[in-house]
Amino acid sequence: MNELEIIDFPIQNWVKIIIILGTVLMLFSRLYIGDRFQYLFSFWNIHRYFHYKSGETISLFTPNNITMFFLRILTTSLFLFMLFRDKYLTDQKEFFIKLCIGLSVLLILKFIIENIFSLIFKFKKKLNEVSRYRIGIKNLFSVHLYFFLIIMIFGDLPLENIYTISLTLFLIYNGLYLKFILNKYLINGLKALVYFILYICTFEIAPIAGVIYLIK
């Protein structure tokens, strides 16, 4: 029996390729960052990912972050495809490719706009600090989403359960992300907190809601 026969749509071959490619990307990340990779599995110990050794931190642009960027695009696109595949029965592969391109453009534009605003309002240093932690959390999210996709694809879960689990995990991840940032004292004072809330609503929640609205 083919291991992908439980998938209820006729795209087994390219889904298998995406899963294998995601595995290769994670293996490259594991080889590049070594033992630090283990801390991408736990929110409770993720500070070790940022400060693995005394005085050592990670920067924004590293081969590992670039690798994880592609993993995030692949896993997020495949995840969205799994949620809305019934609406695109005749052009599923094309739909997935459009998701990959759309998400890539969205994240790049988001990065450019954030940096333009940071220069205009003079909070470039703070943005870099927040972005460093945010990218690390998103790397963790990419790894966890990969394994969640394995369960979705091979576990033959009912779509209603997938919606409920996905929403729950989304709220948990974002809640832990905000708590992590606040615990790091990156946000201090009411004014900074208001700016941070506006930032989350504008650059984190709004793009996700926009993507889901367009897909529907």
Mean pLDDT of the chain: 77
Nearest to 133 by CA among 44, 28, 58: 58
Domain boundaries, the chain: 12-215
Contact call for residues 68 and 203 (beta carbons, < 8 A):
no
Mean pLDDT of 102-131: 80
Mean pLDDT of 34-45: 78
Prediction pTM value: 0.79
Mean pLDDT of 158-168: 81
Nearest to 138 by CA among 105, 176, 165, 101: 176
Q: Which has the higher per-residue pLDDT, 147 or 11? A: 147
The amino acid at 27: L
pLDDT digits (tens, 9 = 90+) for 10-31: 446 888 889 999 999 999 999 9
- For position 188, what pLDDT does the model report? 64
Q: Which of 69-73, 99-103, 141-145, 186-190 is the least confident region? A: 186-190
